[in-house]
Amino acid sequence: MTSHFATRMNHVNDSFIREILKVTDQPEIISFAGGLPNPQLFPVEALAEAANRVIRDSGRQVLQYSTTEGYLPLREFISERYQRKEGLTVHPEDILIVNGSQQGIDLVSKVFLNRGDHVVIERPGYVGAIQAISLYEPEIHMVRLNENGIDLNNLKSILTRHPVKLMYAVPNFQNPSGITYTEETREALAALLTEYSVHLLEDNPYGDLRFMGTHALPVKNRLGDLGILMGSFSKTAVPGIRLGWVCAENTIMKKLKIVKQAADLHSNYLAQRILVEYLENNAFDDHINIINQAYKSQRDCMVSEMEAQFPDTVTFTRPEGGMFLWVTLGVHASSSALFERAIQKKVAFVPGQAFHLNGEGDRSLRLNYSNASVDQIREGISRLASAIEG
């Protein structure tokens, strides 16, 4: 039977993170492993009202089939916001509504990638992107991250040696590292990609979750048509409604609409209508500010506890936003070995190998701070410190 499966299935396994999340699901474990937004901050009442209103007032429309591109007022909201927040002039017809930006990665890969094509991903990189892209059987090159964002020399050396078609990157509060690309890095990255005519799939699920430092504009602003920008309502509104978007120029958008229609006709229309009803009747930026205040306290607590309790051999990033930070253990340390000890001490994280190919990255690990209270963070880091001590 197995021989019936497509060869692309040889390139992926059952998700490593899924397996880890099963282990860490026990209630007595303090988990920094997941990637969940804090549900205490969900605008539950406002969404209940919005749902009630759109179904009662317009049920025969909002429960019917709809258009592949997505509900126009939602695409207008997104394009106006790009203009206002990012200085990016795009129109509603440049926006495709998808089931979270995860679907955007799949659809863009489907439009661009033949088997054997060359793709660049960050190292460490977003697991969901590695999985989605791998299913199209490309050659994946991972480019190192550094404190300024991406290692440009490493990238240039890859671009010189391989005809790269597409690069996937998360320039703001990257998952898993928490790193944000500097202005200079963005500028130089755009120049390099333009020189080699490489499309950038710029994923920005965390961009609005900045709680310190200064806002940086998308790389797409310097890239023009080579830039494909994605966003998500999963971290700013709620993830359960699975709504995100892809922003791309017309030639690409036409192809994206074809593959979106073939994939599932259109994204959940009821969810789109509920979200627009919510956005029109609530101050979205105020809501995001509330999230950012909470995440800043959680992040500050985690950083200061780690500074106080971890040995000097352990280093870590200090993100200015987003949901994750990245820990590098001392030389010869193993995060998968640490994971076993940590689970015994009832604290969990994701070992770094999950964000690499070929088993690399075992000295590092990812911590999530968005879905734990300050008290849990204090106790959890203390447990982790004692696990690190051995």
Residues 267-326 that bind its own copies (CB under 8 A): 267-271
DSSP code of residue 234: T
Distances (CA, A) of 154 to 151, 173, 181, 363: 5, 20, 15, 20
Q: How far is the CB of 136 from its own copies (least distance, A)?
A: 8
Three-class DSSP labels, 144-200:
EEECCEECHHHHHHHHHHCCEEEEEECCCCCCCCCCCCCHHHHHHHHHHHHHCCCEE
The residue among 271 and 385 lying less far from its own copies, judged by its C-beta, is: 271
Start-to-end Cα distance in the chain: 46
The reply to whether 45 sits near its own copies by the rule CB under 8 A is yes
The reply to whether 352 sits near its own copies by the rule CB under 8 A is no
The reply to whether 63 sits near its own copies by the rule CB under 8 A is yes
The residue among 251 and 358 lying less far from its own copies, judged by its C-beta, is: 251
The reply to whether 264 sits near its own copies by the rule CB under 8 A is yes
Residue 373, both tokens: 């209270």
The reply to whether 192 sits near its own copies by the rule CB under 8 A is no
Of 38-46, 72-80, 141-149, 203-211: span binding its own copies (CB under 8 A): 38-46
Among 19, 23, 26, 48, binds its own copies (CB under 8 A): 48
| β pairing state of 118-123 and 139-146 | parallel
The reply to whether 100 sits near its own copies by the rule CB under 8 A is yes
Q: How far is the CB of 112 from its own copies (least distance, A)?
A: 6
**Burial class, 46, CB count within 10 angstroms (exposed 0-12 / middle 13-18 / buried 19+):** middle
The reply to whether 65 sits near its own copies by the rule CB under 8 A is yes
Helices (H) and strands (E) in the chain, counts: 13, 14
Of 64-72, 143-151, 174-182, 303-311: span binding its own copies (CB under 8 A): 64-72
Q: How far is the CB of 382 from its own copies (least distance, A)?
A: 27
- Report phi then psi at 142, rounded to 5: -100, 135
The residue among 356 and 363 lying less far from its own copies, judged by its C-beta, is: 356
The reply to whether 259 sits near its own copies by the rule CB under 8 A is yes
The reply to whether 164 sits near its own copies by the rule CB under 8 A is no
The reply to whether 111 sits near its own copies by the rule CB under 8 A is yes
The residue among 182 and 373 lying less far from its own copies, judged by its C-beta, is: 373
Could you count the other beta carbons within 10 Å of the beta carbon of residue 341? Answer: 16
The residue among 2 and 160 lying less far from its own copies, judged by its C-beta, is: 2
- Report phi then psi at 285, rounded to 5: -65, -35
The reply to whether 199 sits near its own copies by the rule CB under 8 A is yes
Q: For the chain, list the strands marked E by DSSP.
A: 30-31, 95-98, 118-123, 139-146, 149-150, 164-169, 199-203, 227-232, 244-247, 315-316, 324-328, 347-348, 350-351, 364-368
The residue among 102 and 180 lying less far from its own copies, judged by its C-beta, is: 102
- Where in 200-239 is the site for its own copies (CB under 8 A)? 225, 234, 238-239
Among 83, 261, 281, 344, binds its own copies (CB under 8 A): 261
Dist. CA 227–CA 249, nearest whole Å: 8
Q: Which amino acid is at 215?
A: H
The residue among 15 and 315 lying less far from its own copies, judged by its C-beta, is: 15
The reply to whether 56 sits near its own copies by the rule CB under 8 A is yes
